[in-house]
Chain A
């Protein structure tokens, strides 16, 4: 099996706030991420597809197709958006990189026609990222 990874970047605003928490609790749990004016990141998304290369083309999948899917499903939804207000899939969730990774997984999984979605990695900064994988995928610890 071969794993193929494609990267895209998007820039977006967010803040963390749970309406069920008191103002004091929101500040304590979320710290400066609770600033209601929001703040932004240059997110980097790495999407990994696993599969066997097609013997005719030598490819697991056409990377150009994957690039278009990422642009359509993620770029157009999230780039230069406010994640709290403009991405319906994140409504009611705190837009942490864990939740963003899980939402991106749900968006991409049905669109991958060749190979299998193996991992969604969302970097919020070079020093922080979340990975989303399938629970049963024991081959990738």
Chain B
């Protein structure tokens, strides 16, 4: 009566970045009303904590869902190097269009990491502060579609 088991691995990464929540198509008053002090024109920053969860069969030869020797440089290259100590609004091209809320940052990180070749990306969890966290596990059907 052995149950089929599912294993996932979660790794935490960190980056510090600044942003400003501001939509040019909104009036100043609207930006203030919606985003409050997050709309301060000079921007502000956070120490982000990013949890990346991957899942897949455990390779019996290594005991691993995926080797951190592969996952760490992939996340470093795709996300940490691109986001760490950057002003997200101006230095990450995708946030020229989308307001860099933590929700949109989650989505963008998911998009950048879903091509990880060694295992399936299951979930992104982003803590913007110790009081706010955000999770994204793909748009409707996205997870099924990317399964091999």
The answer to whether B63 and A96 have CB atoms under 8 Å apart is: yes
A52 interfacial by beta-carbon distance below 8 Å: no
The answer to whether B10 and A98 have CB atoms under 8 Å apart is: no
Instruction: Tell me which of A18, A126, A130, A136 contacts B4 (CB under 8 A).
Output: A136
**A98 CA / B63 CA spacing, docked (Å):** 7
The answer to whether A133 and B9 have CB atoms under 8 Å apart is: no
* Chain A hits for B9, CB < 8 A: 97-98, 128-131
Which of these binds chain B: A43-51, A54-62, A101-109? A101-109
B141 interfacial by beta-carbon distance below 8 Å: no
Interface range on chain B (Cβ under 8 Å from partner): 20 to 34
The answer to whether A131 and B12 have CB atoms under 8 Å apart is: no
* Chain B hits for A131, CB < 8 A: 7-10, 53
* Chain A hits for B4, CB < 8 A: 134-136
B1-36 Cβ-contact flags toward A at 8 Å (1 or 0): 011111111111100000000000000000000000
* Chain B hits for A134, CB < 8 A: 3-6
**A12 CA / B39 CA spacing, docked (Å):** 49
Q: A29-B67, A128-B11, A141-B137 are in contact. List 10 more A-B contacts (CB 8 A).
A: A29-B62, A31-B69, A98-B64, A105-B5, A126-B12, A132-B6, A132-B7, A133-B6, A136-B4, A141-B122
